[in-house]
Structure 1
């Protein structure tokens, strides 16, 4: 799958399904420095992903400081050819302008993605 390089970052799109509703999310940063994937709650509000009393609240620490998020189990996450069913994802109120989330090492390693920076492609090893 093609990845975009802009503003010094690598971007891709992912598709998530929650309670039978699917949404394509663009402007997701491929972040090998993030231990786990994280999406902004604003980009998934229309498919019903909102914080509720039973959600686990987690705190992440990084170069940008401390970030609080809630964890929700989703039906499916698709990144190119990779598909992960019934997985938990973190959602936060806001990351940065024009960034809808981070594709972190949890999914990158699980899938075994190979990132070809010369060709700006990310693919699964056959």
Structure 2
């Protein structure tokens, strides 16, 4: 998968499936410095991802400060041929001063055994 540079940062495109509905996310930050994966609530609500009574609510901290998120389990997260099933994702406002659909964190990067090749500007799996 090709890496696109925006704001001087690595972005990828991926598809997510939640309860049988699929959505393409075009601006997802590839972030080895983020422990978890987070999707923009305003974007994924288009496929029915909304807060529900039994959702886990958590607080995350980062360079942007503190943010409250809720946790959802996605059926599938797919970067071309690379995929993870039944993957837990945080959902938040993501008001970070730039347009992004989500952050693909180290939890996904390590579980999918991704290799980030900055020479060829590609992401692929070592599986």
Q: Between Structure 1 and Structure 2, how many residues are aligned?
A: 126
Indicate whether 1:28 and 2:59 are aligned: no
Deviates more, 1:76-85 or 1:32-41: 76-85
* Equivalent in the alignment of 2:5: 5
Deviates more, 1:70-79 or 1:103-112: 70-79
* Equivalent in the alignment of 1:115: 116
Note the C-alpha offset of 1:80.
2.5
Q: Secondary structure at the match of 2:46?
A: helix
Unaligned runs of at least 5 residues, structure 2: none
- Contact map agreement 1:18 1:49 (CA 8 A) in 2: yes
Indicate whether 1:61 and 2:90 are aligned: no
* Equivalent in the alignment of 2:43: 43
Q: CA RMSD in A?
A: 1.2
Within 1, Cα distance between the matches of 2:95 and 2:109?
Answer: 20
- Contact map agreement 1:95 1:101 (CA 8 A) in 2: no
Q: TM-score, normalised by structure 1?
A: 0.94
Q: Secondary structure at the match of 2:111?
A: helix
Note the C-alpha offset of 1:54.
0.8
Within 2, Cα distance between the matches of 1:15 and 1:70?
Answer: 20
Indicate whether 1:77 and 2:77 are aligned: yes
Q: Deviations over 1:71-111 (max 9, x none)?
A: 01121111232211112111002333311110000000111
Q: TM-score, normalised by structure 2?
A: 0.93
- Contact map agreement 1:42 1:94 (CA 8 A) in 2: no
